[in-house]
Amino acid sequence: MEELRALADLDRLIHEPARLLIVTILSAVESADFLFLQRESGLTKGNLSAHLTRLEEAGYVKIQKTFKGKLPLTICSLTKTGRKALDEYRQKMREWVERAD
Amino acid sequence: MNANQTEIEQRVKRYWYTDGIAELAGGGMLLLIGLYFSGQELLPAGSTARTLLEASLALLLIGGVLVTRRLVNALKIRLTYPRTGYVDYGEGRKNTGSRRLLTGGIAAAVAALLVLAGQWVGSFEWITAFTGLVFGLVFMILRARASGLARFYVLGGFCLVLGVGLSLSGLPMGYSLGLLYGLIGLASMLSGSIVLARYLRANPVPSEQ
C-alpha cells in the first residue's frame, strides 16, 4: 500500500510520457529549438506546442523567440525549477522501483 | 528509466556529429598543423623563414581554433539548424577560465615530461606513436563512447596504427609528425564529407520553419 501511495506523490506534470521525454531531452542540453524537440520527440507541432505551454505555465520550461544569424528560432530551456522537479521525479521513481523489487 | 535516460542523452550528444561539419572543420585544422610540421622540416635550419614559422605555432593554434569554431558555427547556422534544429550544449558554461587554465597546465606538464623522457631515452622518434595514441584515445573515448558513433572507433584505430607505423618508418620526426597530423586531418575530413553529404541528402530544407 505504501508503494502505491508513493506513486500518487509523483509529479503528474512530468510523469506524462511526452512531457517526460521533452524534459529529459532538455535536461541534456543548455537549450534546444522547437524543430529539434519535434524531431527528437516524434510529436506533432500542435501536440509539442501544447505540452511546452503546460511546462512553461508550471515554470519548468522557458521559451524564447530569438534569431541565430538570420534564422528565427523558438528556443526552449529547462528552468532551475524544472531541473529540480525532474531530479525529484527520478529519485522518487528509483525509490519506488527499489521498494517494488 | 536510467537506460532510457542515458540513451536519450547520448542521442542528443550524437546530434553534434550528425552533419559531419565538426569533423570536416577539425580535420582541416589538423591538415594545416601537418603542413606546418612538414614545412618546418623542409626549410633549412637557422633560416629566417624557419625561425618565423617556428614562432608562429601559437598563432596557428589559437587562430586555427578560433577560425574553426566560427566556421563550424556559420555552417551549422546555414546547413543544420534550418534542417534538423538548433541545440546549445552549454559549452560556454563548462569552459570556465579555471578549466582552461587547468587544461593548459596539464598540456604544459605533459609536454615537459615528454621532453624529459626523450632526453632520458636519447630519442624522440616515439613522439609520433605517442601522438597517434593520444589522438586514438581522444577519438575512441571522448567521441565514440560519448556519442555511440562507430565511425570514431575506426578513426581512433587509424590514428593508433598510423602513429606506430610512422614512428617505425625511420622518417625524420618533423616529417612523420607532419604526415601523422596531415593524414589524420584528411581522414577526418573525408569522414566528415561523407557524413555531410548523406545528411544533406536525407534532410532537405523544410518548406516552412
Domain boundaries, chain B: 2-208
Q: How many whole angstroms separate alpha carbon B31 and alpha carbon B190?
A: 12
**Residue B48, C-beta contacts closer than 8 angstroms, at least 6 positions apart:** none
Q: How many whole angstroms separate alpha carbon B147 and alpha carbon B166?
A: 29
**Chain B residues inside the 8 Å CB shell of A71:** 77, 81-82, 86, 209
CA atoms within 13 A on the CB side of B144: 15
The share of chain B scoring above pLDDT 70, in percent, equals 93
The reported pLDDT for the residue numbered B164 is 93
pLDDT category at B80 given cuts 50, 70, 90 is: very high
Q: What average pLDDT score do residues B45-72 get?
A: 87
3-class secondary structure, A80: helix
Give the pairing of strands A61-68 and B87-88.
Answer: unpaired
* One-character DSSP codes across chain B: -HHHHHHHHHHHHHGGGTTSHHHHHHHHHHHHHHHHHHHHHHSPTT-HHHHHHHHTHHHHHHHHHHHHHHHHHHHIIIIIHHHH--EE--HHHH--HHHHHHHHHHHHHHHHHHHHHHHHHT--TTHHHHHHHHHHHIIIIIIIIHH--THHHHHHHHHHHHHHHHHHTT--HHHHHHHHHHHHHHHHHHHHHHHHHHHHHH-PPPS--
pLDDT tens digits, A22-59: 999 999 999 999 999 999 999 999 999 999 999 999 99
Lowest model confidence (mean pLDDT) among B36-45, B83-92, B100-109, B129-138? B100-109
Closest approach of B142 to chain A, Cα-based (Å): 17
pLDDT category at B54 given cuts 50, 70, 90 is: confident
Residue B93 has pLDDT above 60, yes or no: no
Q: Tell me whether B7 touches chain A (CB under 8 Å).
A: no
A95: its cell numbers? 525509490
Query: CA-CA distances (angstroms) from residue A42 to A21, A54, B127, B184, B202?
Result: 10, 18, 48, 37, 17
Tell me if B209 and A33 make a contact (CB, 8 A cut-off).
no
The reported pLDDT for the residue numbered B209 is 46
Closest approach of B61 to chain A, Cα-based (Å): 26
8-state DSSP, A18: H
**Chain B residues inside the 8 Å CB shell of A18:** none
Closest approach of A91 to chain B, Cα-based (Å): 11
Tell me if A38 and B87 make a contact (CB, 8 A cut-off).
no
Q: Tell me whether B98 touches chain A (CB under 8 Å).
A: no
| Mean confidence (pLDDT) of chain A | 88
Q: Tell me whether B199 touches chain A (CB under 8 Å).
A: no
Q: Tell me whether B74 touches chain A (CB under 8 Å).
A: yes
Tell me if A68 and B86 make a contact (CB, 8 A cut-off).
yes
Shortest CA distance from A76: residue in chain B: B87
Sign of the torsion formed by the C-alpha atoms of B147, B150, B156 and B160:
positive
pLDDT tens digits, B157-209: 999 999 999 989 888 888 898 999 999 999 999 999 999 999 999 999 876 54
Tell me if A35 and B15 make a contact (CB, 8 A cut-off).
no
Sign of the torsion formed by the C-alpha atoms of B134, B139, B145 and B146:
positive
Q: Tell me whether B148 touches chain A (CB under 8 Å).
A: no
pLDDT category at B90 given cuts 50, 70, 90 is: confident
Q: Are B40 and B56 in contact (CB under 8 A)?
A: no
Tell me if B15 and A36 make a contact (CB, 8 A cut-off).
yes
Q: What is the ipTM of this complex?
A: 0.82
